[in-house]
């Protein structure tokens, strides 16, 4: 009985995975993970809806004396900025009217600034510099028993006080 002779692979044939191919595959996988992670963070930042009830409703924000005349204060849970002017109080949405980024109040400059695209707003909500084309939305604000009460379910369209 004749035994078959095992054939030897040709010398110029390459194995399916060399060290070089394995390292290249590792770099490609690392790059895909990095890009995927960045995209996930962007989707979380810009496309995650506000959970039901968060940022909407009536909020007691504290004593009226907590906001000095001519100053403003950011209330993150209520998603609003309360500014106290000689003509009254304003409750402004902390959502930029350009692309819905959360704005920040900067007390040193007495400005409300959008960190995403650089829009600047006065403490009355008026646009100082774009790309935002309309003022910040306003909410109903009242004073009850020395406390500031903001109703973020009621958006006002009346012009901001001078």
**Structure tokens given for 49:** 């809806």
Query: What are the φ and ψ backbone dihedral angles of 91, each rounded to 5 degrees?
Result: -115, 115
Res 50: pLDDT: 53
pLDDT number for residue 10: 62
Answer whether 0.85 is exceeded by the pTM: no
Within the chain, residue ranges assigned H as helices are 19-47
All structural domains of the chain with their residue ranges: 14-48, 58-156
* Positions of the chain with pLDDT lower than 70, given as ranges: 1-15, 46-56, 157-162
Residue range 58-156, CATH number = 2.102.10.10
């Amino acid at each position: 009985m004749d035994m078959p002779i095992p054939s030897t692979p040709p010398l110029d044939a390459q194995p399916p995975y060399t060290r070089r191919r394995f390292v290249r595959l590792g770099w490609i996988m690392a790059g895909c993970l990095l890009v995927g992670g960045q995209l996930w963070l962007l989707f979380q930042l810009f496309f995650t809806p506000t959970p039901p009830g968060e940022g909407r409703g009536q909020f007691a924000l504290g004593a009226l004396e907590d906001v000095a005349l001519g100053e403003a204060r950011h209330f993150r849970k209520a998603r609003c900025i309360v500014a106290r002017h000689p003509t009254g109080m304003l409750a402004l949405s902390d959502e930029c009217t350009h692309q819905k980024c959360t704005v920040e109040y900067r007390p040193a400059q007495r400005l409300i600034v959008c960190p995403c695209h650089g829009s600047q707003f006065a403490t009355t909500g008026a646009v100082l510099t774009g790309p935002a084309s309309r003022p910040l939305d306003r909410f109903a604000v009242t004073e009850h028993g020395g406390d500031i009460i903001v109703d973020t379910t009621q958006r006002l369209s009346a012009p901001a006080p001078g």
